[in-house]
């Protein structure tokens, strides 16, 4: 059974049609929009600062989302995919963003809409990723502009697919 726990008087608030896997952990001051999914072994820890997520956010297996005490909350927009084992810490991610597998996003980073952070990248503290960019590497740097086809073909496709995947589990729970 998933752990959804009150911490310091703050209890997580989930939107409509959200899926939380059996061993996911969501604690403290966390607000999720509608149609979000939190997958196996993911941890969303709103104990030291708040975490706010928009609609259609998928937090894939092994992801950690956290913030920095009194300094850096985590704010995530709509239609965001955070791939397996990524770490998202004290940053702002706007709408229509794909965070690749094992990527690390550090405090006070801003990732504007329609952007991709490549798998394995480390986005260092205070980086500002402009809209329509692909960043990769350690430390992550801009490698190119994103095409409209890539926005539709990857960012939108993955976010929509995770709504479908979550529905499979919700259907099984209703039988």
Tell me what pLDDT residue 23 has: 97
The domain segmentation of the chain, as residue ranges, is 3-173
Assigned CATH for 3-173: 2.160.10.10
Cα 102 to Cα 111: distance, rounded to the nearest angstrom: 17
Pairing of strands 58-59, 141-145: unpaired
Beta bridge partners of 43: 25, 64
* Mean pLDDT of successive 10-residue stretches along the chain, which has 175 residues: 94 97 98 98 98 98 97 98 98 98 98 98 98 97 92 89 94 58
The vertex-142 CA angle with 60 and 126, nearest 5°, equals 75
Mean pLDDT of the chain: 95
Tell me what pLDDT residue 32 has: 98
Q: Which helix (H) or strand (E) holds 66?
A: strand 64-66
Q: Which helix (H) or strand (E) holds 135?
A: strand 133-136
CB 172 within 8 A of CB 160: no
Tell me what pLDDT residue 37 has: 98
Which backbone phi and psi does 24 adopt, to 5 degrees? -80, 155
Tell me what pLDDT residue 170 has: 82
Tell me what pLDDT residue 1 has: 81
Tell me what pLDDT residue 153 has: 84
Tell me what pLDDT residue 10 has: 97
Note the pLDDT tens digit of each residue in 40-59: 999 999 999 999 999 999 99
CB 96 within 8 A of CB 156: yes
Q: Which long-range contacts (CB under 8 A, 24 or more apart) does 138-142 make?
A: 140/103
Note the pLDDT tens digit of each residue in 92-116: 999 999 999 999 999 999 999 999 9
């Amino acid at each position: 059974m998933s752990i959804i726990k009150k911490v310091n008087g703050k209890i997580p608030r989930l939107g409509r049609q959200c899926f939380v896997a059996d061993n996911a952990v969501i604690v403290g001051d966390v607000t999720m929009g509608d149609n979000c999914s939190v997958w196996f072994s993911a941890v969303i820890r709103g104990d030291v600062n708040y975490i706010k997520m928009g609609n259609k956010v998928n937090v894939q297996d092994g992801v950690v989302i956290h913030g920095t005490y009194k300094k850096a909350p985590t704010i995530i927009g709509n239609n965001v995919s955070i791939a397996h084992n990524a770490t998202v810490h004290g940053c702002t991610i706007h709408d229509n963003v794909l965070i690749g597998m094992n990527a690390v996003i550090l405090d006070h980073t801003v990732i504007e809409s329609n952007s991709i952070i490549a798998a394995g990248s480390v986005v260092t503290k205070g980086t500002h990723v402009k809209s329509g960019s692909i960043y990769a590497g350690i430390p992550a740097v801009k490698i190119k502009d994103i095409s409209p086809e890539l926005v539709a073909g990857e960012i939108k496709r993955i976010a929509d697919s995770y709504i479908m995947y979550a529905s499979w589990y919700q259907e099984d729970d209703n039988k």
